[in-house]
Amino acid sequence: MNPTSLSADLCLKCNLCTAACPVSAATDLFPGPKAVGPQFQRFRHPRLPPPDHSVAWCSGCGVCSRVCPHGVPVTETNIQAKARVLSQSRVRPRDWLIARPALLGDLSRPIAPVANLVLANPLARRLIERALGLSANAPLPPFRRNTLRTLMRSHLAPSPPRRGRGRTVAYFHGCSTDRFEWEVGAAAIAVLERLGATVVLPPQGCCGLPLQSNGFFPAARAYARRNARRLQPFLQAGLPLVTTSTSCSLALKHEHRAVLELEGEEFDRLGQGTWDFFELLQAEFLPALDRQRLVPVPRTALYHPPCQLRAHGIGTPAVAILRRIPELRLTLSEAECCGVAGTYGLKAEQFAVAQNVGDPLFRQIGRLEPDLIITDSETCRWWMAGLAGVPAVHPVVVLAASLGLAALPEPARDRLRLADEP
């Protein structure tokens, strides 16, 4: 029997999860995590149709599991139930595509400029929405002609290197950094090397979380097993596996075992050996960082910790590092979720709900008028930058800029002000 079904019996029906759920507050279509999770779990049977389809509106943000006083894995229960609903529905080409960002990036690379022109055209986006159900208003990342791995060939490592001087770190960049945001990966490598580490890029593929979120559990498990097999030699050699994507690190640390129910020593080792980038910096590289001269970054910034990072249970290690940077005026987000939840907000039928979920955050951005938005999640960056019109960056890029290793985007209103000058 699924272990989450046993955990559901611990539910006290206190409704704390429903009170905290950003989706149930945004739409009546979702009755809340308790109702579709522990409450309905007793009616679910492997050989019977799902008793309720409203679980499909769950974004999987993880708030419910974090606030449950009895430790019921409400989010995990709901994700598994949602996958069952989706598995018994007709597979939509849209869901198949957005669940495979690495494939999308590879297919678009030869025609990246043309693809970006098409996606920037409002008429083309409306036609795509009508044909596929991909929201015409949802921000999308630009396609790129280069990848991190092609630009950093010297760091590729088919096997663990021999022990040398200093710390060797294996970097799990994930498909978004490799195909869409190689600057984030380049900044992460540059920072680690400045702090005395040797960085290698092990063989790897997509973590499988987009597949899991869209209900493709068999494919997600295949991706997870492939990654676990490729990464074992590096983990067995004692290398920390560090990632700048909170989605990837959550999948490797938690989701493979808790949601996909993959068991065994290799998955335990993978979960225990994976680090968030700033988690590793705090644990091992603070003395080296203290020896660096951080140059001022005179910007006003809003930092938003994404849902996946909150689910790690490690706090906000990036904030402690960012507060060391001179002249960086940092304000913390007051919102629970930005709304996009990976691929959730990209879907035409869910875009308005995702907007409603993120409304408190965007109102705070409007009041603050920051120069930058800083957040650890790639999908949150694309979503917030596109809807708020404010540049959004990973915190490692801000740290790299303070170390003289990267450049930050100019504030949008500064560009407008310069354009008005004679």
**For position 311, what pLDDT does the model report?**
87
Sequence-separated (6 or more) residues with CB below 8 Å from residue 131: none
Q: What is the pLDDT, as a whole number, of residue 164?
A: 63
DSSP letter (8 states) at residue 35: I
With cut-offs at 50, 70 and 90, classify the pLDDT of residue 44: low
More confident residue, 37 or 304: 304
Angstrom distance (rounded) from CA 8 to CA 4: 6
Separation of alpha carbons 170 and 54, rounded Å? 41
Q: How crowded is residue 87: how many other Cβ atoms within 10 Å of its Cβ?
A: 13
Q: Which helix (H) or strand (E) holds 374?
A: strand 372-374
Residue 155 region by backbone torsions, left for phi larger than 0, else alpha for psi between -120 and 50, else beta: alpha
Task: Check residue 162 and give its pLDDT.
Answer: 81
Instruction: Answer whether 3-87 and 293-420 agree in fold.
Output: no
Does residue 163 come out as left (phi exceeding 0), alpha (psi in the -120 to 50 range) or beta? beta
Residue 302 φ/ψ, nearest 5 degrees: -105, 125
Look-up of token digits 């995590």? 33
Can you give the pLDDT at residue 43? 59
pLDDT at 291: 96
Which residues 6+ apart lie within 8 Å of 384 measured at CB?
304, 338, 358, 361, 362, 365, 373, 375, 390, 392
Alpha carbon distance 403, 296 (integer Å): 9
Q: Where are the domains of the chain?
A: 3-87, 93-132, 148-282, 293-420
3-state helix, strand, coil in the chain (%, to 5): 55, 10, 35
The CB density around residue 85, as the number of other CB atoms within 10 Å, is 18
Distance from the first to the final alpha carbon of the chain: 72
DSSP letters along 158-215, please? SSPPPP-SS-EEEE--HHHHHHT-HHHHHHHHHHHHHTT-EEEB-S----SHHHHHTT
Sign of CA dihedral 367, 369, 374, 377: positive
**pLDDT band at residue 418, thresholds of 50, 70 and 90?**
very low
User: How confident is the model at residue 305, as a pLDDT?
Assistant: 96
Helix orientation angle between 351-368 and 378-388, rounded to the nearest 10 degrees? 70
For residue 316, give the 3-state DSSP assignment.
coil
What's the order of all strands across the beta sheet hosting 299-303?
A: 328-332, 299-303, 372-374, 392-393
Inter-CA distances, 267 with 169, 190, 243, 263, Å:
19, 29, 17, 6
Alpha-carbon span 198 to 164, nearest angstrom:
9
Q: Which residue has the tokens 């690379």?
A: 109
* Secondary structure letter of residue 156 according to DSSP: B
> In the predicted model, what is the mean pLDDT of residues 378-384?
97
148-282 classified as CATH 1.10.15: no
What is the torsional sign of CA 18, 21, 24, 30?
negative
Instruction: Return d(Cα 211, Cα 221) in angstroms, integer.
Output: 9
Architecture of domain 3-87: Orthogonal Bundle (1.10)
Predicted confidence (pLDDT) per residue in 196-233, tens digit = 999 999 999 999 999 999 999 999 999 999 999 999 99
Helix (H, G, I), strand (E, B) or coil at 296: coil
Q: Which pairing describes strands 168-171 and 328-332: parallel, antiparallel, or unpaired?
A: unpaired
Q: 50 pLDDT band (50/70/90 cuts)?
A: low
Decide: residue 136, CB within 10 A, 0-12 exposed, 13-18 middle, 19+ buried.
Answer: middle
The CATH code that applies to domain 293-420 is 3.40.50
- Confidence check: pLDDT of 264 > 80: yes
More confident residue, 172 or 308: 172
The CA-CA-CA angle for residues 327, 277, 323, to 5°, reads 20
Note the pTM of the prediction, 2 decimals.
0.92
**Cα dihedral 115, 120, 123, 124 in deg (nearest 10):** 20
- Give the confidence band of 421 by pLDDT, cuts at 50, 70, 90: very low
User: Residue 249 is encoded by which pair of tokens?
Assistant: 């690190």
Stretch 101-105: mean pLDDT, rounded? 94
Check whether 298 has a pLDDT greater than 60.
yes
